[in-house]
Amino acid sequence: MKAFNILFFYLLLSSLNGFSQGGYRQNNYNGTNNRDYSNESTKPSVEDIEKYKAQQLDKIIEKLKVALTLDELQVIAIKNEIASNMKNVDIIIKKEKSEDDKKIEVQALMDKSEIIINSYLNKVQKEKYKVFVEESKSGKKEKKGKKTRGTPAKGEQSDAKDKTAEE
């Protein structure tokens, strides 16, 4: 659940970052920057942010619904908990505190949310949920590890070298 909640937090932060970078075109071939005057406000509207959050929440809930075979009551309860958690994370981020204090508060909020979500699940669903969370954690680690550009890490060989060595 921690990874799942951290995913929410990461999506939230990345969505805010993505929205805030709009309003400019790419540099043209001679290096000058053409400003797009059609959209003067670079900040997204509140409606756009809420719409994006709702889309992300729906995607997450759909994945959970399929993975855990949730009934409609569980879907509604978990969706409300996650939505509440997202709002509380927004509030924490906006506070005038140090980053360490914010991380501690967010972690405590994630732990509380994990306990509440687990309370809505039956025994079989809890086991599936643990597996789901572990897979999401390992998926993130694999993505981070794939950022090398064509050069294998120390001690690793490419598949082609392994195949020739076996023959």
Contact 12, 53 (CB under 8 A): yes
For the residues 47-64, what does the mean pLDDT come to? 93
> Does residue 160 carry a pLDDT above 80?
no
Q: What is the 3-state secondary structure (H, E, C) of 24-78?
A: EEEECCCCCEEECCCCCCCCCCHHHHHHHHHHHHHHHHHHHHHHHCCCHHHHHHH
User: Could you tell me the pLDDT band of residue 161, with boundaries at 50, 70 and 90?
Assistant: very low
* Average pLDDT score over the chain: 76
What burial class does residue 25 get, using C-beta atoms within 10 Å of its C-beta: 0-12 exposed, 13-18 middle, 19+ buried?
exposed
> Does residue 167 carry a pLDDT above 50?
no
CA–CA separation, 133 vs 66, rounded Å?
Answer: 14
Q: Which pLDDT score is estimated for 24?
A: 45
CA–CA separation, 127 vs 73, rounded Å?
Answer: 19
Spell out a b/e string for 116-136, using b for 16 or more CB atoms within 10 Å of the CB, else e. Answer: bbeebbeeebeebbeebbeeb
Percent of the chain with pLDDT over 90: 44
pTM, to two decimals? 0.59
DSSP letter assigned to residue 148: S
User: Could you tell me the pLDDT band of residue 58, with boundaries at 50, 70 and 90?
Assistant: very high
Of 162 and 102, the one with more pLDDT: 102
For the residues 4-17, what does the mean pLDDT come to? 63
| Three-class SS state of 21 | coil
pLDDT in tens, 73-101: 999 999 999 999 999 999 999 999 999 99
pLDDT in tens, 109-151: 999 999 999 999 999 999 999 898 888 878 766 665 555 555 5
User: Could you tell me the pLDDT band of residue 69, with boundaries at 50, 70 and 90?
Assistant: very high
